[in-house]
Amino acid sequence: MSIPNTPYKIYLEEKDIPMNWYNVRADMKTKPAPLLNPGTHEPMKAEELAAVFCEDLVEQELDNTHRLIPIPKEIQDFYRMYRPSPLTHAIFLEQELDTPAHIFYKFEGNNTSGSHKLNSAIAQAYYAKKQGLKGVTTETGAGQWGTALSMACAFFKLDCRVYMVKVSYEQKPFRREVMRTYGASVVASPSNTTEVGRRILEAYPGTTGSLGCAISEAVEDAVGREGYRYVLGSVLNQVLLHQSIIGLETQAACRKYDIHPDIIIGCAGGGSNLGGLISPFMGEKIRGEADYQFIAVEPASCPSMTRGRYAYDFCDTGMVTPLAKMYTLGHDFMPSPIHAGGLRYHGMSPILSQLYEDGLMEARTATQSSVFQAAEVFARTEGILPAPESSHAIRAAIDEALKCKETGEEKTIIFGLTGTGYFDMTAYEQYNNGSMQDYIPDDADLEKGFASLPKI
């Protein structure tokens, strides 16, 4: 394939921001399994879900048929503040690697919250406002989702209560202050302000928390408070739907400059950025219009797809959420406190889990130190200081480009650069000092998590 004659940064015009989200479920031959009521094991009904989630979001969650879902005008207007995001041709990285591969990245860190999470936060805040709610509760791992939601809630004047995983709360005090500046209240999780938090603290004294714990607390708080609903920054079908804006813009940029990706790569925590980036391309693949290799990259310390089970499990540690069929390490799995906080989740989006189960995408792991090595190369060549989460995708992109160097293949690689790492300097400090640890759970560690899977 010829070297694409593209600008360094491909910016679409404002008018090219998609007016619809793309729902990959409409094209999937095997639909993702439905959420189940944990008591009856029957599929969750819309009315049941509406006790926890906003009405319009429930509709989106259950919609397996509509391919395109219109983006409300208010959300389109907000998107204009920071979209379209650029698709960048990583020519300096290519030079450094001396590879025949063509590498592009879709950069989602160009907004104050610093990640792709704002794409869904603004949508969820909009629907909460539309329903006339007072506020929303949520969890945050590394802090990016909480920050994005705080910004979105400030915009629509909604109250925002964030349960922040304790390890991040302590490692990233400035993240917390950004959220408070946008008006959110932030609680370190597990906390003693909820029933489930107190239970978890008793069972695991000294725990640094996990996304699963924080979700339990946020759900309990929302359900018990008049005029509040719970919102979630990843995993759910609705979140992948909102994030499809990433893939749709990428697809439009590719069409504009006749770029034909062979490989599309994303890091995978709960699966929202990867799902959003690949969805439109996956649709082409399922419909037989094109073929792509999709690669999910997860931390070796939290390998839900590569070493997990495809089973029904709770989305949270406290077992207050519906059951989702997904690749999971078990809701009791407590990942080691690695720095890519946004990837420390025991499960994986049901949509991506089904696509992976059907052999339509691949997954691999990367160790923490190999990820920071990749981040360093990237920062020194392309200039952007990447988030540790995003650097998992960089690792795989570099590895694939180096393979091309060996074989002489001129593949085109696109990866999702989900965010910036300015709040992760403690992690970079450890890497720079040579004191970074790699942690890979052994089979016995994983068995403990699997033992918590509900029997269905």
Positions that interact with ligand PLP (CB under 6 A):
115, 117, 142, 144-145, 234, 267-274, 342-343, 387, 389-390, 418-419
The one-letter code for the residue type at 266 is G
Q: Helix, strand, or coil here: 312?
A: strand
CB 6 within 8 A of CB 89: yes
Kind plus residue range of the DSSP H or E element containing 136:
strand 135-140
Q: How many Cβ atoms from other residues are within 10 Å of residue 422's Cβ?
A: 13
Q: Considering the complex, what minimum distance in angstroms separates the CB of residue 117 from ligand PLP? A: 5
Query: Partners of 416 in the beta sheet?
Result: 106
Cα separation, 307 vs 218, whole angstroms: 28
Please say which residue, 273 or 317, places its beta carbon nearer to ligand PLP: 273
- Phi then psi dihedrals of residue 299, to 5 deg: -70, 145
Q: Considering the complex, what minimum distance in angstroms separates the CB of residue 141 from ligand PLP? A: 7
Please say which residue, 6 or 250, places its beta carbon nearer to ligand PLP: 250
Please say which residue, 308 or 419, places its beta carbon nearer to ligand PLP: 419
Task: From residue 260, give the alpha-carbon distance in Å to each of 85, 88, 293.
Answer: 19, 14, 12
Cα separation, 374 vs 352, whole angstroms: 25
Please say which residue, 404 or 414, places its beta carbon nearer to ligand PLP: 414
Say what the alpha-carbon torsion angle 216, 392, 325, 306 is, to the nearest 10 degrees: -130
Cα separation, 24 vs 27, whole angstroms: 5
Q: Considering the complex, what minimum distance in angstroms separates the CB of residue 110 from ligand PLP? A: 12
Please say which residue, 91 or 385, places its beta carbon nearer to ligand PLP: 385
Q: Considering the complex, what minimum distance in angstroms separates the CB of residue 363 from ligand PLP? A: 12
Question: b or e along 390-421 (b: 16 or more beta carbons within 10 Å of the residue's beta carbon)?
Answer: bbbbbbbbbbbbeebeeeeeebbbbbbbbbbb
Residue position matching structure tokens 């720095």: 339
Q: Considering the complex, what minimum distance in angstroms separates the CB of residue 377 from ligand PLP? A: 18
Cα separation, 239 vs 351, whole angstroms: 11
Cα separation, 116 vs 120, whole angstroms: 8
Q: How many Cβ atoms from other residues are within 10 Å of residue 310's Cβ?
A: 17
Query: Partners of 295 in the beta sheet?
Result: 265, 362
Q: Considering the complex, what minimum distance in angstroms separates the CB of residue 393 from ligand PLP? A: 8
Please say which residue, 133 or 268, places its beta carbon nearer to ligand PLP: 268
Q: Helix, strand, or coil here: 24?
A: helix
Please say which residue, 49 or 371, places its beta carbon nearer to ligand PLP: 371
**Residue 244 structure tokens:** 């499809």
Q: Considering the complex, what minimum distance in angstroms separates the CB of residue 72 from ligand PLP? A: 22
Please say which residue, 145 or 314, places its beta carbon nearer to ligand PLP: 145
Residue position matching structure tokens 């004659």: 5
Please say which residue, 407 or 422, places its beta carbon nearer to ligand PLP: 422
Q: Considering the complex, what minimum distance in angstroms separates the CB of residue 376 from ligand PLP? A: 17
CB 124 within 8 A of CB 157: no
Q: Considering the complex, what minimum distance in angstroms separates the CB of residue 388 from ligand PLP? A: 8
Please say which residue, 268 or 398, places its beta carbon nearer to ligand PLP: 268
- Phi then psi dihedrals of residue 309, to 5 deg: -110, 150
Please say which residue, 50 or 379, places its beta carbon nearer to ligand PLP: 379
Q: Helix, strand, or coil here: 71?
A: coil
Q: Considering the complex, what minimum distance in angstroms separates the CB of residue 302 from ligand PLP? A: 11
Provide the CA 395 distance to its chain's centre, in angstroms.
17
Q: Considering the complex, what minimum distance in angstroms separates the CB of residue 243 from ligand PLP? A: 7
